[in-house]
Structures are given as structure tokens and as C-alpha cells.
Amino acid sequence: MAEMERTFVAVKPDGLQRGLVGEIVSRFEKRGLKLVGLRLLQVTRQMAETHYGEHKGKPFFDGLVKFITSGPVVAMVWEGKDAIAIARATIGATNPASAAPGTIRGDLAIEIGRNVVHGSDGPESASREIGIFFSENELISGWSRNLDSWLTELVTK
């Protein structure tokens, strides 16, 4: 049985500038994941460098940090069975030019440096990234939805 997972998702500054926050949140809601954390914030340079630490030294790193700190982001935690892989699939390929239609990046973006949304790529990065943006008491995972039994056989009480 697959485990319940939490994943970190963020609407990047281009998504806010373009008025896409509602559209992007809606896609995760409709998919069936459960929202357990939500924050609007300005990412600091230090947070950005920690969050994107795995890319330090790559040619696009400075531009990436500049972009993610260029305006507010909407940081979220979504929970569900296989939430990490489901969120990544909903987001689509890193480069929107090759992202499948139907995915967020495949429908709403055209290039890699403006790909509107972030999603954790595995359990370790999810837990690390959630910790950068949220403290445990800012997450509400104890709430249940009446529709859960229509989304999953794994209904938790």
C-alpha cells in the first residue's frame, strides 16, 4: 500500500504576476490532493540558495535565485497517497517547451526560466523544502473531507 506523502509546491513569481495562482491551486485541488499548508511570502536570497542548493555552481543558478526572489511566491504543502509523484506529473516536464499538454507547464508556460511552478522531486527534498517554508504548527493535516472516500480507497480517519 502506498504511503501518505506530503510534497512542497510553489507558484513562482511569474505565476503571481500573470494571475495564475487560482488556476494552479485549482489543478491540485481537482486532482484530489489535500491542501495542508499555504503561505504568500517574499523568498529571501538565503532561502532561495538553500532551497535550490542542489543547483549551486550550475550556469543558471544565479538567474534562478534572482527570479525566485523577484516577487512574492505562494508556497503550499499538498498531501495524499503518492502526492510527490502525482504533483510532479500534474506540473509537467521542467522545460515547458517539452511539457505535455494538460500539465501546468505544458498549458501555461513556454520556457524553462519561467516555468511558473515548483514541485519537490522526492521524499527527502519534500521534507527539506517543507522545512524551509513552514514550521510544523503552520501545517494542518488533521482535517478530513467527506469526498475522500470517492478519491481513495485508503480513507484515513
Site for ligand DAT in 106-125 (CB under 6 A): 112-113, 115, 118, 121
Q: 118 an active-site residue?
A: yes
Q: Do residues 69 and 44 make contact, with C-beta atoms less than 8 angstroms apart?
A: yes
- Which residue in 68, 115, 118, 120 is the catalytic one? 118
Binding-residue total with ligand DAT (CB under 6 A): 9
CB 139 within 8 A of CB 37: yes
Q: Does 102 bind ligand DAT (CB under 6 A)?
A: no
Count the site residues for Mg ion by CB under 5 A.
1
Could you give the C-alpha distances from 120 to 125, 140, 141, 146, in angstroms and in order? 6, 19, 18, 27
CA 99, 63, 67, 43 torsion: positive or negative? positive
> Is 92 within 8 Å of 99 (Cβ atoms)?
yes
Laid out side by side, the sheet with 34-41 consists of 34-41, 73-81, 4-11, 117-119
Based on CB atoms, which residue is closest to ligand DAT, 90 or 115? 115
Annotate each residue in 59-88 with x if it binds ligand DAT (CB under 6 A) or - if it does not, as one string: -x---x------------------------
Residue with smaller CB distance to ligand DAT, 34 or 118: 118
The least distance separating ligand DAT from the CB of residue 91, rounded to whole angstroms, comes to 7
Question: Is 97 a residue that touches ligand DAT (CB under 6 A)?
Answer: no
Contact call for residues 66 and 57 (beta carbons, < 8 A): no
Of the candidates 36, 25, 5, the residue with the CA atom closest to the CA atom of residue 140: 36
- The residues of the shown chain that bind ligand DAT, judged by CB under 6 A, are 55, 60, 64, 94, 112-113, 115, 118, 121
What positions carry a catalytic annotation?
118
* Contacting positions for Mg ion (CB under 5 A): 121
